[in-house]
Amino acid sequence: MIRPDILVAAPMPLAVMAALDARFTAHRLWELGGADALPPTTRDAIVGIAANTLAGQIDSRLFDRLPHLQIVANFGVGYDNVDARAAAERGVIVTNTPGVLDAEVADLTVGLLLATIRRIPQADRYVREGRWATQPFPLSATLQGRQIGILGLGAIGKAIARRLAAFDLAIAYCGRHRQPDVPYAYFPDARSLAQACDVLIVIVPGGDATTHLVDRPVLTALGPQGVLINVSRGSVVDEEALIAALQDGTIAAAGLDVYVNEPHVPAALIAMANVVLLPHVGSGSVATRAAMGQLVVDNLIAWFTQGKPLTPVAESRHLPGAV
């Protein structure tokens, strides 16, 4: 294969960088001083981008500087960091990394739910601080008997549902449409789902269409025994409304893996004892991140050798070669 010139928009795992360097002429955007500092010869040479959320927005501003760009391969199943519509308007295909991280994120979600309800991190700190010797740890709430609501029943949502079904829990969901092949109760909107449940798991894509999908009315519907778990994007939940709901008892607790302004977490959330906070590690195992990185590389290789990407996103599927 001829070594196409690609732009790596932000640092990636070392194994991914090595694989990209082995098959492509990989230009590291952060070493070049950013998009505005790209030399004209480099701009003209770039035909692909390897992207991830660390790069910020991959949008028209960058596309306009790369007249021969053909493909953006995104590291992650979520791709709200890439303006896929603007890319499609220019005939540029966008790919993501679905499938390879579904199980890992689902496992982490169940762990976060258990940690939040049974207060596992708080119990760990209680032992480490020597407090158990003077007083037993307070009893926690229970997962048993709860009604689980899954906001977004895509591949990851289904994987979460299968795991929680093994806990003998009732499961309901909300999505863009009813899915006839699943055994779970369907609700047409987030508020009605929250009203019927006392655990709300958020696993929808980010972007304008889902910004603040979980707002104060949804949290109020979830109720004072309610638990919110967010493993999607921070933008999906109105963070200020969530903080207020946790402070005033509108809901009981929250487990969060994502935030609005990552990696910066509001001090109010950090101060709360009824919140479990993770540093966006839903897919964060060595094996899964390696598989995601390999799919980024494989998408680029497939495009430049066969003219057909492996996992184009919805906005790209009408473009030549994408189907």
Half-sphere exposure of 81 (CA within 13 A, CB side): 23
Catalytic residue among 233, 239, 289, 315: 233
Catalytic residue among 23, 118, 212, 262: 262
Q: CB 128: neighbour CB atoms within 10 A?
A: 9
d(CA 206, CA 203): 9
d(CA 237, CA 306): 40
β-strand partners of 46:
5
Is 104 part of the annotated catalytic residue set?
A: no
∠ CA 204-205-208, nearest 5°, is: 115
Here the tokens at position 280 are 């966006």
d(CA 145, CA 108): 21
CA 44 to chain centre: 32
d(CA 272, CA 267): 9
What stretches of 9-66 show up as alpha helix (H) in DSSP? 14-23, 40-45, 60-63
Is 280 part of the annotated catalytic residue set?
A: yes
Is 233 part of the annotated catalytic residue set?
A: yes
d(CA 127, CA 133): 8
Angle, in degrees to the nearest 10, between helices 14-23 and 286-306: 20
∠ CA 56-57-58, nearest 5°, is: 120
CA 82 to chain centre: 13
| Closest alpha carbon to 71 in 50, 93, 40, 53 | 93
Catalytic positions are: 233, 262, 280
